[in-house]
Amino acid sequence: MRVHILDDWHDTLRGLPCFELLKGHDVTVWTDHAEGDALAQRLHPAEALVLFRERTAVDRTLLERLPDLRLISQRGVYPHVDVAACTDHGVTFCSKTGGDGANHAAAELTIGLMLSAMRQIPEQMASAKAGNWQTGVGKTLRGRRLGLYGYGRIGRAVADLGRAFGMEIIWWASEEGRARAAADGETLAASRAAFFAESDVVSLHVRLKPETRGTITGDDLSLMRPGTVFVNTARAELVAPGALLEALDAGVTGAVDVFDTEPMHDPADPLLAHSNLICTPHIGFVTEDEFDRQFADIFAQINAFAANEPINTINPEVLGPASGGRPPVRR
């Protein structure tokens, strides 16, 4: 198949073991980002399209301009893909969600951001490099209360790391998530308000879906005390618009890996430029190890489709009785 891989900005995938799974396919790797006409033109010959998380959106307008496209393969949730449009255009959409085990890269970055905020690592580094030596006094993690919002794989991995630092772990989540946490013997906050008011660090670990967009409100963050830390390595859209900026203005420290607009290139953006913000450019999953694990799944989906045995299919109706159970050949 003619396979096009989008948005491999650092040309990493070709050097990973998983890339061998594409042996025998005609593979094109795009290391820059394109949109609109430029994107449609470069993808015109593609039969299979590999998405690099949510870096590129796939909508009906784009699909209408890709007559040979038969498959889109990715991993994880898919708010950036118009699944109905894929179905209407006979494009099979495969995405393995959940995976096997936690994303430890994201969990580790969460702790890194937490440490950076509590120990003032960016400020201390800047001061030392400027010849000013120490600046300010940080806080230790041991004995602090870590509030984890969302009882999933990554949140539980962060809890394990937090406990290794001697932190007290409390939880808040959906009703179903709180029930699972309680069944596992975890400590729940007395209420949602108490969770935000009594945590020294709040870390968000929820999947972005239509029903979770804006889950964290301005009222929630207003309960956090000045000097406490809000960490988000999940998705920016989980926080209500403007709520984080208001919290920073009120004295909360933000430690985030995600933004509403990505890539973020404006150094004057009010959030990016805020003195109470510590940030990284969406690198929670950006390690060689995590890439190899995730793209092995993505490339396996391509091979399964090519063998007429598709897996992790989100819109199986494309492969229904009308197609005889075989991937449709586009004309």
Let me know if 192 is a catalytic residue: no
CA angle 213, 255, 247 (to 5 degrees): 65
Distance in angstroms (rounded) separating the CA atoms of residues 260 and 299: 29
* The residue type at 158: V
Crossing angle between the packed helical segments 121-129 and 104-118, to the nearest 10 degrees? 60
Please state, in angstroms and rounded to a whole number, the distance separating the CA atoms of residues 169 and 179: 16
Give the H/E segment covering residue 201. Answer: strand 201-204
Would residue 235 show up in a list of annotated catalytic residues for this protein?
yes
Q: Which of 64, 262, 288, 309 is catalytic?
A: 262
Single out the catalytic residue among 70, 89, 104, 282: 282
Phi, psi angles (nearest 5°) of residue 161:
-70, -40
Token output for 46: 């593609």
Choose the catalytic residue: 144, 145, 235, 293: 235
Nearest CA-CA partner of 16 in 301, 296, 297: 296
- The single-letter DSSP state of residue 257 is S
Residue 312's Cα: distance from chain center in Å? 19
Contact of 198 with 207, CB cutoff 8 Å = no
d(CA 293, CA 222): 38
- Helix or strand (DSSP H, E) at 218: helix 218-222
Of 149, 143, 156, the residue nearest 205 (C-alpha): 149
10 Å CB burial of residue 305 (0-12, 13-18, 19+) is: buried
% helix, strand, coil for the chain, step of 5:
35, 15, 50
282 carries an active-site annotation: yes
Known catalytic residues?
235, 262, 282
